[in-house]
Amino acid sequence: MLQTQAALDPASLARLAKDTVSRQNEWRGKGTLNLIASENVMSPAAMSLYASDFEFRYAEGTIGERYYEGTRYVDVIEDACEKAIKTLFRAEFVDLRPLSGAQANLAIFSAFAKPGDSALSLNVPSGGHISYRDFGAAGCRGLAVHDIPFNNEDFTVDIEALRGLFKRLGASLKVVTLGGSLFLFPHPVNEIAKALGESFPDGEVALHYDAAHVLGLIAGGQFQDPLREGALVVSASTHKTFPGPQGGILLASNLKDKQRSSLRKAVFPGLVSNHHIHRIPALLYAAAEMMRFGADYASQTVANAKSLARSLDELGFKVVGKARGYTSSHQVAFDASGLGGGALVSRALTEANIIVNKNLLPGEDVRNSKNPAGIRLGVQEVTRFGMKEREMDSIAHMFHDLLIGGESKESIATRATKLRREFEEVKFTF
Ligand SMILES: Cc1ncc(COP(=O)(O)O)c(C=O)c1O
């Protein structure tokens, strides 16, 4: 790990801050192929809106009903952003104030369950995010977390076993969370909504869909549409496949009045005071980009993911999900256990200027998380820079030549940076 060498005097620290940002911009911003599935870039225009006077202001409360003065333009931008997001997702309810996807999840757990209640979600190897497990936000809310039964072979929920769990948990069950961090294929929202309706006819259990990873694909009409399929409430990050600023969001269409007010209260004053208003103009800009270019961006993203997966498979990698066509999202995953494991492979790729993350695969022991079998890739950022199927094939060859063919890290790093520099401009923007 790089350590700070600077003496702790103010001038050195100030210089260090500036130098480090410029190194980061040069290396991660321009010199590497970024295949982290949870990241993206904003367009330069959205970036330019991100740094503004809004950065310094407070606007507790809701549009037109603030606890602070001076919020005239906050109301304008937030109202426009809410309308844009509602239109984009055909949602009747939106809350833009959560500062992150994990916080949006905590708002849901706070609104729909109380300490001691039960919640169901995928465990981490099956793709579940830490925020809805007992060691994450759900645990902080005091919920008893149980695993949604998952079929590791075909990457889907075992609905019959889930029905059994509904029966076993009975009235203690308050939230069922679908979605995840390793999210290759849509989840059976429709069937689960139906099963929930049959098991809990009074509608006391909230069906929650975590769209953190796939929000941009949903906006572009290239993934399932959870609100139409029966989810009561959707949470997401606004910066993964959705190319906005880092932040969180809540969407819904059929909340009862009491649910709506519980959710609003869970966000504010529950979890957020100031909601970091400088995000909102950039989020509005990204929403406008998605309205105009979202379908093209999302379909190219999914096509690129499929193409990268196929090329990797043909070159000898153990790509997961082959029987289902590898992927229907922006993600690709392969089993790297025969190549030294996820930790070794992800580090080797980083040294070759290809940034990925190691990941548990379905069925793996969660205690392997420091050296899991899997590598998870996401192609949304390189797609936004204009890369297509041909470049996916080039990237797959770099993986092969480094990890199987024995080409040096230095040589692959040069190839990766060269490819990145051919695609410097963000596409799918005005
Ligand atoms: C499925 C899922 N939900 C929630 C989160 C948390 O999102 P954030 O980082 O915006 O808090 C993540 C993070 O990657 C995620 O993968």
Segment 251-273, tens digit of pLDDT: 999 999 999 999 999 999 999 99
Give the tens place of pLDDT for each residue, 327-379: 999 999 999 999 999 999 999 999 999 999 999 999 999 999 999 999 999 99
Do residues 230 and 183 share a domain? Answer: yes
210 pocket-lining for ligand 1 (C-beta < 6 Å) = yes
**If you average pLDDT over residues 32-58, what whole number do you get?**
98
Residue whose C-alpha is closest to residue 248's, from 94, 40, 52? 94
Q: What pLDDT is recorded for position 54? A: 98
C-alpha of residue 81 to centroid of ligand 1, in Å: 21
CA atoms within 13 A on the CB side of 385: 20
Does position 162 have pLDDT exceeding 80, yes or no?
A: yes
Residue whose C-alpha is closest to residue 111's, from 239, 253, 257, 237? 257
Single-letter amino acid, residue 45: A
Residue 271 contacts residue 264 (beta carbons within 8 Å): no
User: Of 7 and 49, which is predicted with more confidence?
Assistant: 49
Single-letter amino acid, residue 27: W
Do residues 58 and 202 share a domain? Answer: yes
For residue 382, give its domain range: 34-41+294-421
Q: What is the CATH number of the domain that holds 403?
A: 3.90.1150.10
Q: What pLDDT is recorded for position 239? A: 98
Which of 97, 129, 208 for mutating ligand 1's site (highest number of atoms within 8 Å of CB)? 129
C-alpha of residue 410 to centroid of ligand 1, in Å: 33
All residues at 6 or more sequence positions from 218 whose CB lies less than 8 Å from its CB, including other chains? 89, 211, 224, 225, 226
Q: Is residue 273 part of a domain?
A: yes
Query: Which numbered atom of ligand 1 lies nearest the CA of 239?
Result: 10
Residue ending a domain, choose from 284, 314, 342: 284
Does position 1 have pLDDT exceeding 70, yes or no?
A: no
Tell me 366's DSSP state: G
Q: What pLDDT is recorded for position 203? A: 85
Q: Is residue 373 part of a domain?
A: yes
Give the span between the Cα atoms of 108 and 192, in whole angstroms: 18
Q: Is residue 340 part of a domain?
A: yes
Do residues 266 and 306 share a domain? Answer: no
Nearest CA to ligand 1 atom 7: 101
Do residues 62 and 140 share a domain? Answer: yes
Do residues 412 and 265 share a domain? Answer: no
Give the tens place of pLDDT for each residue, 295-331: 999 999 999 999 999 999 999 999 999 999 999 999 9
Q: What is the CATH number of the domain that holds 243?
A: 3.40.640.10
**CA dihedral sign of residues 68, 69, 73, 79:** positive
Would you state the structure tokens that stand for residue 346, as one six-digit string? 């992800």
Query: How many structural domains comprise the chain?
Result: 2
Q: Is residue 12 part of a domain?
A: no
Does position 94 have pLDDT exceeding 80, yes or no?
A: yes
Does position 19 have pLDDT exceeding 80, yes or no?
A: yes
Q: Is residue 414 part of a domain?
A: yes
- Band of the pLDDT at 8, cuts 50, 70, 90? confident
Q: Is residue 306 part of a domain?
A: yes
Q: What is the mean pLDDT of the chain?
A: 97
Query: Which numbered atom of ligand 1 lies nearest the CA of 131?
Result: 4
Q: What pLDDT is recorded for position 4? A: 64
Residue 296 host element (H or E): helix 279-314
Q: What pLDDT is recorded for position 375? A: 98
- Band of the pLDDT at 226, cuts 50, 70, 90? very high
Q: What pLDDT is recorded for position 3? A: 66
All residues at 6 or more sequence positions from 198 whose CB lies less than 8 Å from its CB, including other chains? none
Residue ending a domain, choose from 232, 255, 284: 284
Do residues 223 and 302 share a domain? Answer: no
- Tell me the percentage of the chain whose pLDDT exceeds 70: 98
Do residues 213 and 355 share a domain? Answer: no
Residue ending a domain, choose from 284, 315, 332: 284
Q: What pLDDT is recorded for position 7? A: 67
